[in-house]
Structure formats: structure tokens, C-alpha cells
Amino acid sequence: MISPSQRRQGLVGFKYRVGDAIEAEVRRSCRDEFKILYVGGPFGRLAWARLGTLGQTSVFEASKISPKMKDVMRVRAEGVRVEGALDGEVVIAFFTEHRRSERRHALEALLRAP
């Protein structure tokens, strides 16, 4: 029988599109979580507000330290952690095994929204 870790490993490197503008790539996280990189932003306030509906958003307001920096966004919800920068071109999601598929579909529906 294949373990969840081995199944995750088998998917590493798989690429697919989310909507027209975003390319997703499955990665392996340092903590052996299921990690997906979504490239194709910029992911602005509206996108992060939508992602925030998944759970609780925290913002590290780096732009107040230096105007050259972008705020770092993090959304925590059951089974998923989503990270990125405000107006950045990447969103990184870390999924736990429990309800992974359901959380991924929910996240990607929010990313796909116009």
C-alpha cells in the first residue's frame, strides 16, 4: 500500500493551469506537506481578500518599514496555509493531508475568480 507521503512524492513536479493566467506546480515542502506554487499574479488586495475568506488572515506590514517592501500575507485555515506578498506574483499554499483535495479546490476557485 502506498503511503500518503509516497503519493505526495509521486505528484511533485506536476504542473497545471488554474484559470487563464496562473500556473500551478506541485512541490514538496520542508515539512513534507503538500505544497503548491501558484505563479502568475500580481495578487492584489482583491485577490487576498478573496483568499482571506478561507480562514484567518495575518499581514506583516513591511511597507511601513520600507516603501520598497511589500506586505507579507498569510492566511491560515483548517488544512491549509497560504502565503505570499501583496501585489506579488506568487502564492504558496501548504496543505495537510486531511481534506487536502477539498481545500485545494476551494483555494483554486478563489484564485480563478475574476
Partner 1 sequence: MSIRVDTHPDRFVASIAGEPHVFHCHHYNCFLQKSIVDQSALLDAKRLLTDAAAEVVYTELSALKATTDTAEVLFGQLGFGVLDAKALTAQGGNATVKGSHYALGWLSKFGKASEPVCYFVAGFVEAAARQKFGAAFQVKETACVASGANACTFEVKPGGRATLPPSVGMGTLTPFVERPAFATRTSVDEGAIITACAGLPLAGTIEGKIDAFGVSLTRHYSNYYNLISYRFDQQMASVAGEAATAAARMLLTEAGQVCAFHTFGGIMESAEWEGLIKPMCKTTEDWVYGMVSVVNALGWGRWSVAALDPGRRLELVVDGSYESNGYLAAFGTSATPRCHLATGGTSGLMNLVYHANIMSRPALTPQLYEKTFTEGHFFVARETECRSMGAKACRFVAERL
DSSP state, residue 69: S
106 binding partner 1? (CB under 8 A)? no
Q: Measured from the CB atom, is 70 or 100 closer to partner 1?
A: 70
How far is residue 28 from each of residues 6, 7, 11, 54, 96, measured CA to CA in Å?
11, 11, 9, 22, 12
Residue span 35-74 as binding mask against partner 1, x where in contact by CB under 8 A, dash where not: --x-x--------------------x-x--xx-xxxxxxx
- In a 3-state reduction of DSSP, which class is residue 47? helix
Query: Which residues of the chain form contacts with partner 1 (CB under 8 A)?
Result: 12-13, 25, 27-32, 37, 39, 60, 62, 65-66, 68-74, 81, 83-86, 88-90, 92
